[in-house]
């Protein structure tokens, strides 16, 4: 069964990736907004923002939050692609074939992972051109990549739910707006101690702050402390809950 599932997923993944290669503008568009925000905050607002991070440039401080925004904007396309497949009857056609049913969802999820990783690489390359520098070694970069991969999987499975249940194209993609906005209420752009009381309390206890702080410390080769474990717990918890809800919704849809 596992071999059957893996083979079916690989075939469907190839189908989804071919769609991506035929519309490369999807990946580019996903990266454009985060890159524009990176340019705006570094070159327009950066001179007026004090992060208390020593001699490091603002682009070093900002990049982890921009990477999370890149993922949040990218997973909206997963919901959109799923919605279009549901609307066009692709799922019904697959159900008539002798394939593992869950492989259809996993193909979309893995496609999202590949597309988002490409977008993340593009954003990092632009950040390097803007002066971003990291003291992290191989293990540090692997930890960053692993955290971003787990975060991407968690948000992608979350995107599967509106992709299966939305009534319109706009509804399928609209869920990502709060996710894109959430980093603004975190330590992604400014330290949380500059915020007023209630906002600071929310910012310090929401998942993005822990993830951003962990990525920032890893990239700067600083001791990570408990932030990395809190970040991984948030990502893993969200992934498990989103996966269970998505699979339950999918079974109801195809039953």
Domain boundaries, the chain: 2-254
> Can you read off the two tokens belonging to residue 80?
């959109």
Q: Based on the number of CB atoms within 10 Å of its own CB, is 245 exposed (0-12), middle (13-18) or buried (19 or more)?
A: middle
Maximum Cα–Cα distance for the chain, whole Å?
61
- pLDDT value at 3 more than 60: no
Q: What is the pLDDT of residue 66?
A: 95
- pLDDT value at 201 more than 80: yes
| Residue pLDDT, tens place only, 13-48 | 766 777 666 666 666 777 788 899 999 988 887 766
| Residue pLDDT, tens place only, 176-196 | 888 888 999 999 998 888 889
Mean pLDDT value across the chain:
84
| Residue pLDDT, tens place only, 138-180 | 999 999 999 999 999 999 999 999 988 888 888 877 878 888 8
> Can you spell out the DSSP letters for 127-165?
HHHTT------HHHHHHHHHHHHHHHHHHHHHHHHHHHH
């Amino acid at each position: 069964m596992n071999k059957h599932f893996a083979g079916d997923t690989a075939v469907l993944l190839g189908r989804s990736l071919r769609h991506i290669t035929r519309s490369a503008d999807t990946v580019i568009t996903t990266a454009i907004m985060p890159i524009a925000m990176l340019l705006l905050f570094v070159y327009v607002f950066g001179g007026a923002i004090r992060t208390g991070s020593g001699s490091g440039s603002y682009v070093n401080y900002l990049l982890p939050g921009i990477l999370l925004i890149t993922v949040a904007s990218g997973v909206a396309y997963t919901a959109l692609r799923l919605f279009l497949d549901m609307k066009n009857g692709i799922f019904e056609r697959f159900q008539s074939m002798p394939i593992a049913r869950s492989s259809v969802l996993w193909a979309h999820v893995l496609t999202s992972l590949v597309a988002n990783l490409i977008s993340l690489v593009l954003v990092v390359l632009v950040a390097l051109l803007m002066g971003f520098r990291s003291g992290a070694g191989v293990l540090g970069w692997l930890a960053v990549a692993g955290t971003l991969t787990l975060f991407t999987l968690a948000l992608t499975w979350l995107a599967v739910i509106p992709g299966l249940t939305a009534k319109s194209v706009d509804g399928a993609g609209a869920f990502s707006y709060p996710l894109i906005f959430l980093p603004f209420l975190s330590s992604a752009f400014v330290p949380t101690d500059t915020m007023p009381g209630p906002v600071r309390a929310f910012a310090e206890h929401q998942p993005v702050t822990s993830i951003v702080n962990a990525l920032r410390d890893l990239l700067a080769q600083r001791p990570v402390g408990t932030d990395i474990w809190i970040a991984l717990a948030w990502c893993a918890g969200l992934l498990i809950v989103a996966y269970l809800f998505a699979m339950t919704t999918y079974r109801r849809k195809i039953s």
